[in-house]
Structure 1
């Protein structure tokens, strides 16, 4: 979400480590799960020397065997293949979960590095005529990005060339980040883990290695192939000899069979109003004229195949706008500087479809479908309204869009009600993919695919007015480079159900419930149901600790609503599976009370199943765990360590089975409030998850 840093100096000061149940004092070390530093040359992957058809394709979902996530996440038209499972004479990078490394931001935490002349070759699992390549190439020495070719051949036939770019990747330094790899600290007074200090006003600026904290390495590009190819055909991606990119990292390939373009004959066709489908001339005014005509005649607006240049907001109200399909119709724009800034504080504008502001009554009956929005946002400026979709839209639908290179894919500023966001692909954002901000009610986000956001993937932020009666269901969220896959900040009677979240990188996790950012309280019910979270539980650099795959955070107020977490699977968590926490400065003010966990599966934790760093309580029923790296419950409470026991209590409602290296994860001696506090336990990387 667009916001300030997570606590300027939100450090957990040193505290005594206590382990009441044993006589051993555990060392206060923190070890990143994975293999340590990024491996620049891990050795070439084994090339297949077999028959002409190449190796059998390995299809995954979020880097997992699809059987492990059946019924969860978005149902999409494409099939995912990880590069590390394909035939290659390149170098496999990873696995690694250390932030600021190329493998850490890759799907599944592995990728393939190609130097010029090297290739990776995928075998198509089904017929396809289109591919999406997720890749990284180097930045320019002084920032700003470069371009480089990538050759695409099928079965050794005619070559198509993709032009890759790093103009939309490579951010550096402290929040809200910079494009300059040579920049000094943006906030010299903020604590940074790299110097293990909290600089005072008189402390000299810490020495840092430049570029400092490189991140947001990846981008993706789509290509329609010259024809339809069949299952078993071999798609080879080659970094050509003589490329100006010293290396090209391929993360994955998505392949799909794209149908013919949609034709809408009875409609306000934008070509009739002067729109240019070649993208050479600006089409914004022509689209406005088509919208005005459609509103008068009760027709739909139709965007035929083509690329339409739009460099500002298109204001939409009581109108339906359809494209020919998001592989065929693209609305593409430049980011434009504003002088003077707009009244809302924006210093840029750019392509976007916006409802009227809620202060002006908002828009209604807006229906947008079947086209792509391609922006030009290369830096994070939180005051800028440069989102793909924005404003307020009640009784509206957003369906079948592909949104890339905007700040936030969809940011709704309410109050507003009854919007349906379905079947969209939102990738390569500088901030969130979607945010319900302020008083969004009775709305649903279903079957959307999100990858490579610069902040929360999907968020509900109840600032000033509560979001209520909303559902996030059957979505897939992968590789947010900062913050969380799905985040709920306050609100009433909301549901997060049947989602798949994978590979958050830092300062966040898979699912997050936070009383923070000035949000209204959690009230009524909150249901977190049947979600799968994999390779989460990340490192929180402001606290120098690991988080949970799901973490509940009481910063601004108590969390005491009816919160039930049921049927979730937490797989291969880097640190904890479940964390309940408060910030040190308010640890004796706010609590997390009465959270219910039931029917949970935990397969692999680097540390504990539950980490409690707050006062309050939770109950557990039928929580089964295996491959647990540390004590099942790391119970620090509020770090006051009273002789009566921890300030956080656990209730065993039965059926809690399994554990790890220390025995049953919820052993009787842990209940209700035994202090088992290891402030920063060592990490034991778990084995890969498997069928339960």
Structure 2
């Protein structure tokens, strides 16, 4: 990929200009609740994504006397990181009010408040009332938000460049090679603004009741941004009368003392007596890994059983390079044979990770677990929600919620086989939401199915880096923020080659395709990237819907230094819907080929196929060829998206076409 000089201005933090102040529509209670999924009409994503127990309501659709910010998809801004790219900003004394669409006794609030001037976060109150009744207090925090600077980021808003020798898009330069060194606007590249809090309301409220969130007049936060409210009806706590109850082994449900050793004793007893471990309602302090093998651990439900820990600095680095430990449930290391028959369910894991240190094993769940299940966990504030290092096989991960991570939501890293990740909900990951990374040894036979991934701050919603016989199906991915796509198929990061087949079936993406800083171009909602090897496995992309694409729907690309080494072939698109592109339906910046059958597109902002090939612009045409297998209909202002004159390899290269904002998606 050619890296051209960039003249983009530094992207500043702040509220989108032109926000709309709304009159308060909530006092009469007449506002009609608008329920969405990933900020979309649920009918547009029926049958796709995770089956969740909550109803999502975007703040911009609620009654408020605050100010709507957005829409904006520019990285490093508050609207860009909001679900649907809009939110509501409250100043002290203002509120936003949601009308419940169905019975609920619990809420989750996704919000942002300012950082402390020197970093490290602040706390601020939020008042919750229902129907104007008794006040409940939530304490919001920005201690787990607000990262700055270049990867792997800093908590210091006043920090100088972490990598002065790296290309800096905003100033079109490599600072270390520039005399005098250019100044950067501080804070530089602020990001990861949002966090969320859960609250049990204490009783069940009816449809039509009004939940008001108020930034109180005495708030120490200059502003509070509310992105959305999730409301749900939480059932009674699960009880397991006959079990190794952790209380019997000295665990403290009030969280005043560390309960790790009590958990260890309960697990050892359960294994000897063939019982399950039960963790009753409470908040338990655990400040290290709990090693699990051949054991079932059940909580009372993720709203009731909370396992919470501090990040603890190690006196000397661990053999794996970790310099910290923290709360997490880990299978044994694969080098020790891994763990088997582990079953975790019904509890929350809350970490204390505020910085990204890639060598640290401070993940919610980790290690190697074969023939195991993980179900109904709620994980937040860890580095990665779940990170697995194989060899391991037959792991099933279902019905979990993973939010507010510093890095990935979940990663199958190395030699994970015949495993399934289904019906999980991931929001606000600091890297890929869901990933399969075949580093050193290939993953094989794995499936990501019916998951929802929203607002990954960096990188992709779902990423597959190499591997064999992989299926990505029926997922919903929305609002990737920067330097990534909704779905990426990448030969990169030292991954083993793609072999066998790759099936990408019946997924829906929304508002995807971000701005790539180094290349200064927009990415596709689905992005094939041949950086280190050819991509030539049997790849079928079938039945997917790409909605409201910021740039391209489909991108196939290599990198400039290797553009004559690697190609992408054997990719087949069939029964695809593309509803709205800022630029093209297909952008090809690589050698290779792909076929298209029954790919229907509308509201296409630029020429349907932006074909640059490998930028040699030969008389024979582009080095990338498209095959029309029929039924490819629709287009935009420039005509049919796949026109005969574009076939098979007409050069239509526009390196940076103007972006036309597409209309909101609608029923096909």
**Scaled by the length of structure 2, what TM-score is found?**
0.98
Which of 145, 150, 170 is 2:146 aligned to?
Answer: 170
- Partner deviation per Cα, 1:216-239 (whole Å, 9 max, x = no partner): 000000000021100000000000
Task: Determine whether 1:297 maps to 2:273.
Answer: yes
Alignment-derived partner of residue 670 in structure 1: 646
Aligned-partner Cα distance in 2 for 1:204–1:377: 37
Would the aligned equivalents of 1:31 and 1:682 in 2 still touch at CA under 8 Å? no
Aligned to 1:229: 205
Residue 627 of structure 1: which of 603, 606, 609 is its match?
Answer: 603
Question: Does the 8 Å contact 2:276/2:296 carry over to 1?
Answer: yes
State the alpha-carbon separation in 1 of the partners of residues 541 and 188 from structure 2.
38
Determine the structure 1 residue equivalent to 2:588.
612
Higher relative contact order (CA 8 A, sep 6+): 1
Task: Judge conservation of contact 2:527–2:555 (CA < 8 Å) in 1.
Answer: yes
Match of 1:42 among 13, 16, 19: 19
Report how far residue 48 of structure 1 moved. Answer: 1.9
Cα drift, residue 40 of structure 1: 5.1
Q: Find 1:522's aligned residue among 471, 474, 498.
A: 498
Report if aligned partners of 1:31, 1:683 keep a CA contact under 8 Å in 2: no
**In 2, Cα distance between equivalents of 1:423 and 1:204:** 54
Does the C-alpha gap of structure 1 residues 56 and 349 become closer, same or farther in structure 2, counting only changes over 3 Å?
same
1:194 match: secondary structure: helix
- Alpha-carbon distance in 2 for matches of 1:387, 1:191: 31
Contact in 1 for aligned 2:8/2:171 (Cα 8 Å): no
Aligned residues: 668
What residue is the counterpart of 1:20 in the other structure? none
Partner of 1:131: helix, strand, or coil? Answer: strand
Q: Aligned partners of 1:164 and 1:671: how far apart in 2?
A: 55
- Change over 3 Å in CA distance of 1:32–1:486 after alignment to 2: farther
- Match 2:424 to one of 448, 454, 475: 448
Q: Deviations over 1:611-633 (max 9, x none)?
A: 00000000000000000000000
Distance in 2 of aligned mates of 1:492 and 1:407: 27
Cα distance in 2 for partners of 1:378, 1:41 equals: 33
Tell me what 2:403 maps to.
427
Taking the aligned partners of 2:633 and 2:492, their CA distance within structure 1 comes to: 34
Q: 1:186-265 maps to which residues of 2 (within 5 A)?
A: 186-199=162-175, 201=177, 203-265=179-241
Q: Is the 8 A contact 1:635 1:673 kept in 2?
A: yes
What residue is the counterpart of 1:485 in the other structure?
461
Match of 2:92 in 1: 116
- For residue 306 of structure 1, report the CA deviation from its aligned partner: 0.2
Deviation at 1:197, TM superposition (A): 2.2
Does residue 57 of structure 2 align to residue 66 of structure 1? Answer: no
Deviation at 1:666, TM superposition (A): 0.2
Q: Return the alpha-carbon distance in structure 1 between the equivalents of residues 656 and 555 of structure 2.
A: 13
Confirm or deny: 8 A CA contact 2:16 2:77 kept in the other structure: no
TM-superposition CA deviations, 1:527-551 (whole Å, max 9, x none): 0000000000110101111000000
Contact preservation (8 Å) 1:354, 1:391? yes
Q: Distance in 1 between matches of 2:9 and 2:152?
A: 26
* Contact 1:308-1:331 within 8 A present in 2 as well: yes
Give secondary structure in 1 for the equivalent of 2:170: coil
Do the aligned residues in 2 keep the contact of 1:30 with 1:545 (CA within 8 Å)? no
**What is the CA–CA distance in structure 2 between the aligned matches of 1:66 and 1:416, rounded to whole Å?**
37
CA displacement at 1:343 relative to structure 2: 1.2
The superposition leaves residues 491-542 of structure 1 with CA deviations (integer Å, 9 ceiling, x where unpaired) of 0000000000000000001000000000000000000000000000110101
> Does 2:547 align with 1:547?
no
Partner of 1:465: 441
Structure 2, unaligned runs of 5 or more:
none
- The residue matched to 1:133 in structure 2 has which SS? strand
**Is the 1:464–1:518 Cα contact (8 Å) retained in structure 2?**
yes
Indicate which of 9, 12, 15 corresponds to 2:3: 12
Residues 347-366 of structure 1 aligned to structure 2 (within 5 Å): 347-366=323-342
Q: Structure 1 residue runs of 4+, over 6 Å off?
A: 28-33
Deviation at 1:567, TM superposition (A): 0.3
Which residue pairs with 2:78 in the alignment?
Answer: 102
Alignment-derived partner of residue 539 in structure 2: 563
Shift of 1:46: 4.0
CA contact 1:605–1:685 (8 Å) conserved in 2: yes
Q: Distance in 1 between matches of 2:46 and 2:7?
A: 37
Q: CA deviation at 1:366?
A: 0.3
Note the C-alpha offset of 1:192.
Answer: 1.1
- In 2, the alpha carbon distance for the partners of 1:554 and 1:434 equals 23
CA distances 1:290-336 after superposition (whole Å, capped 9, x unpaired) = 00000000000000000000000000000000000000000000000
Deviation at 1:31, TM superposition (A): 11
Match status 1:372 vs 2:363: no
Is residue 123 of structure 2 the alignment partner of residue 147 of structure 1? yes
Per the alignment, residue 480 of structure 2 pairs with 504
In 1, Cα distance between the equivalents of 2:185 and 2:32? 43
Asked if the contact 1:604–1:689 (Cα under 8 Å) also holds between the matched residues in 2, the reply is yes
2-side partners of 1:37 and 1:236: how far apart?
A: 25
SS in 1 for 2:80: helix
- The CA deviation at 1:52 is 3.0
**Aligned-pair CA distance for 1:200:** 5.3
Tell me whether 199-208 or 238-247 shows the greater mean CA deviation.
199-208
Runs (5+) with no aligned partner, structure 1: 1-9, 15-27
Change (3 A) 1:353 1:37: closer
Query: In 1, Cα distance between the equivalents of 2:20 and 2:56?
Result: 24
1:42 deviates by: 1.3
Q: TM-score, normalised to structure 1's length? A: 0.95
**1:690 and 2:666 correspond:** yes
Question: Does 2:112 correspond to 1:136?
Answer: yes
User: Contact (CA 8 Å) 2:7, 2:172: kept in 1 or not?
Assistant: no
Residues 30 and 681, structure 1, Cα contact 8 Å, conserved in 2? no
